Every structure is written in structure tokens, then in C-alpha cells.
């Protein structure tokens, strides 16, 4: 028997025979996966089936809703190309990307927290020296970024590789323009004392791609597509866990409602603003407003190597 609760959710009371049938079906599916050779695949698939069936039963999933979900996933597949990954975007707005990152970057001492990688990283960004400018002429307010990289015991990490990337003042990454420009991205290395510094641009909030099924989902749910203003940093050094993170601007409204749940309080900084003529940390005098942020980074010790016996392999192609 179906009725609507006060908040509009569907409430269905089912009888004993109906419950028995639903539980028996779930058990048959679980049994079908019980023989999987890989214990990890068995664990993943049986937990997935348990949670999926519990979800369908809890919400009393209708056939029309199941059909709509299949169409949504089909659209998600159709819009996905080598350059556009709508499934990752879906995972992002569901918070699954951030949950997976949180699980896999276990808290270690005061190590800097990780956040989403995003789709706009480019492997061969220009190499710059400490103090150089990674904006390469893109539009925006100059931002001096500085910090020190250390390990969880307090030792400086010299020679750490830092990749930094961000959008311009119009909220677009270089790869989103139709030309071949390279801007707002660079690679540099920390000095012997673990220090790094470079010029970037003041980050601005920007929308995640909204012209596909994920955009339609956000709209239907009354959710904003905006990402909180951030600068991406990826830091790696031998003997340390690689870190993918952002620094966020405390004065940005979207810090409290980032569309992909990437904001962690520990990554939010107050950016200082300066008027034209104020000498910058590198001795230059700018004839325009500029800002400054300090972001010290703590690298965690390396993770244990993965257990090869726990690997899950599903053949990419069906057997011939
Ligand atoms: C980004 O920060 O670049 C990003 C992250 C997730 C989805 C879209 C963009
Ligand atoms: Fe980004």
C-alpha cells in the first residue's frame, strides 16, 4: 500500500510475503557472486548488491524511475569523450570522488588534506623557477603564492615537485579555449629549505560543465554548479605520499557550498589584498592591485604498497 508522507516522500507498507520475495531475490543475487575467484571482487560485488537492493527497496523504486535512471546513465555515456568525462563529474557531484579521496588519503599527523584532481591538469606544464609567473599573461589580479613544504616530523622537503594550475579571471582554464594557449599552469621545485614561491592569479569561482546530464541533475535538485575559488596544487617528492590539493579563498561565498564537496576547512586561507604601489615580496612594485597567500604544505609518509592478492581484474574485452 502506497501513500505520501508529509514531506512528499513515498511511503509503502509491505506484507510478509512481499518482504520474503524481495529478500529472497537479494539473497539469490548475493549467492551468484559468492563464487567469484577474487576475494576482493566478491567483497565489492556483494556489498554493492546489498546496498543497491536496500536502496531500491527503501525508496520503493518504480519502473519509470528505473527507466529514467538508465536513460540518465546512457546520456552520461554518450556525452563522455576522451576530453569530457561525465561519469567522473557525476561521481564528483555525488561526493563519491571526495569520499574515495578521503578514504585513500588517510589522516597522518598534520599532513595537508587532499582534494579533487579535476579534469584540467596537463602533464607537460611549463617549468618555472621560484618567484616566476605562471599566469603567462592571462586575465586576473596578480597573486603571490608562497609556502614551505615539510614532512610530518617537521623536516623541510627540498626538491619537491609542485604542479600548480587554475582558471583565469573569466573562470576558464586554458584548455577550455579553442586556441592552443598555455596559461595559469606551471611546474616548479621547492628550494633546499623546502620553500616555494610564484606569481599566479587570484582564483575566482567558476561553474563545472553544465550542458550535460550532470548539469540537468544539479538544476533539477536546485543545486549550484559553482566550484569555490581555488588554486590547484599537486606536490610530490620521493619518500612521501603524493598530494593533490587546493588552496581556497576564505572570502569566497562558495566555500560553504562547493558543487563537488572539495572544500576542507584546513585548506581555506585568508588572501591579503594590496593597493598599487605596495612593494611585493620579490621587490617588484606593481601598478595595480595584487594579493598574497601563504600555503605551507605537510607531506605524509608513503603508504604501504598495495596487496597484489587483493587486485581486482575484470577483462576489458569479452573472451573470444
Ligand atoms: C576542478 O577543480 O578543476 C574541477 C573539479 C571537479 C569537477 C570539475 C572541475
Ligand atoms: Fe579547478
| Average confidence (pLDDT) over 160-189 | 97
Task: Determine the pLDDT at residue 294.
Answer: 98
Residue 83 pLDDT level (bands cut at 50, 70, 90)? confident
Q: Which ligand is nearest to the CA of 96?
A: 1
Q: Please give the pLDDT value at position 174.
A: 96
% of the chain beyond a pLDDT of 90:
89
Burial class (CB in 10 A: 0-12, 13-18, 19+), 9: exposed
DSSP code of residue 265: G
Of the listed ligands, the closest to the CA of 226 is 1
* Nearest bound ligand to the CA of residue 212: 1
The answer to whether 112 and 243 have CB atoms below 8 angstroms apart is yes
Indicate whether 211 pLDDT > 80.
yes
Beta bridge mates, 163: 187, 234
Q: Is the pLDDT at 188 greater than 90, yes or no?
A: yes
Share of the chain above pLDDT 70, in %: 96
Is the CB of residue 244 below 6 angstroms from any atom belonging to ligand 1?
Answer: no
- Going from the Cα of 117 to the center of ligand 1, the distance in angstroms, rounded, reads 7
DSSP secondary structure code for residue 266 in this structure: G
**120 in ligand 1 pocket by Cβ < 6 Å?**
yes
Q: Rounded to two decimals, what is the model's pTM?
A: 0.92
pLDDT at 141 over 70: yes
* Per-residue pLDDT, 272: 98
Ligand 1 binding pocket includes 116 (Cβ within 6 Å): yes
Q: Please state the atom number of ligand 1 nearest to the C-alpha of residue 173.
A: 3
Q: Quick one: average pLDDT of 202-222?
A: 97
Mean pLDDT, range 5-13, rounded to an integer: 83
The packing angle between helices 213-220 and 63-79, to 10°, is: 140
Tell me: pLDDT of 135 over 90.
yes
Work out the pLDDT band at 315, boundaries 50, 70, 90. Answer: confident
* pLDDT tens by residue, 291-304: 999 999 999 999 88
226 lines ligand 1 (CB under 6 A): no
Is residue 201's pLDDT more than 80? Answer: yes
Atom of ligand 1 lying closest to residue 117 CA: 5
Mean pLDDT of the chain: 95
Domains of the chain: 2-61 (no CATH), 86-299 (2.60.130.10)
What element of type H or E holds 291? strand 290-294
What is the reported pLDDT for 1? 62
**How many A from CA of 148 to the centre of ligand 2?**
22
pLDDT band at 267 (very low <50, low <70, confident <90, very high): very high
Identify the pLDDT of residue 319: 61
Amino acid at each position: 500500500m502506497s501513500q505520501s508522507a508529509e514531506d512528499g516522500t513515498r511511503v509503502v507498507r509491505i506484507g510478509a510475503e512481499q518482504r520474503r520475495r524481495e529478500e529472497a531475490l537479494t539473497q539469490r543475487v548475493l549467492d551468484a557472486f559468492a563464487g567469484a575467484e577474487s576475494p576482493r571482487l566478491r567483497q565489492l560485488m556483494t556489498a554493492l548488491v546489498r546496498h543497491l537492493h536496500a536502496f531500491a527497496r527503501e525508496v520503493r523504486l518504480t519502473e519509470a524511475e528505473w527507466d529514467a535512471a538508465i536513460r540518465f546513465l546512457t546520456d552520461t555515456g554518450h556525452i563522455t569523450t576522451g576530453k569530457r568525462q561525465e561519469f567522473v563529474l557525476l561521481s564528483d557531484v555525488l561526493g563519491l570522488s571526495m569520499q574515495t579521496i578521503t578514504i585513500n588519503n588517510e589522516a597522518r599527523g598534520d599532513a595537508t588534506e587532499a582534494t579533487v584532481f579535476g579534469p584540467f591538469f596537463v602533464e607537460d606544464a611549463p617549468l618555472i623557477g621560484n618567484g616566476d609567473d605562471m599566469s603567462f599573461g592571462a586575465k586576473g589580479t596578480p597573486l603571490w603564492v608562497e609556502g614551505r613544504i615539510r614532512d610530518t616530523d617537521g623536516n623541510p622537503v627540498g626538491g619537491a615537485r609542485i604542479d600548480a594550475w587554475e582558471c583565469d579571471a573569466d573562470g576558464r582554464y586554458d584548455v577550455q579555449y579553442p586556441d592552443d594557449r598555455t596559461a595559469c599552469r606551471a611546474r616548479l621545485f621547492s628550494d633546499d629549505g623546502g620553500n616555494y614561491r610564484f606569481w599566479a592569479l587570484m582564483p575566482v569561482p567558476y561553474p563545472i560543465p553544465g550542458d550535460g546530464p550532470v548539469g540537468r541533475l544539479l538544476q533539477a535538485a536546485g543545486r549550484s554548479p559553482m566550484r569555490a575559488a581555488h588554486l590547484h596544487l599537486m606536490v610530490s617528492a620521493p619518500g612521501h605520499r603524493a598530494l593533490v590539493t587546493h588552496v581556497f579563498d576564505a572570502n569566497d561565498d562558495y566555500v560553504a557550498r562547493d558543487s563537488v564537496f572539495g572544500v576542507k576547512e584546513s585548506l581555506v586561507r585568508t588572501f591579503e589584498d594590496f593597493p598599487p604601489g605596495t612593494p611585493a615580496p620579490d621587490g617588484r612594485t606593481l601598478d595595480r592591485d595584487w594579493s598574497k597567500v601563504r600555503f605551507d604544505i605537510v607531506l605524509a609518509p608513503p603508504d604501504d604498497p598495495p596487496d597484489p592478492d587483493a587486485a581486482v581484474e575484470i577483462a576489458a574485452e569479452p573472451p573470444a
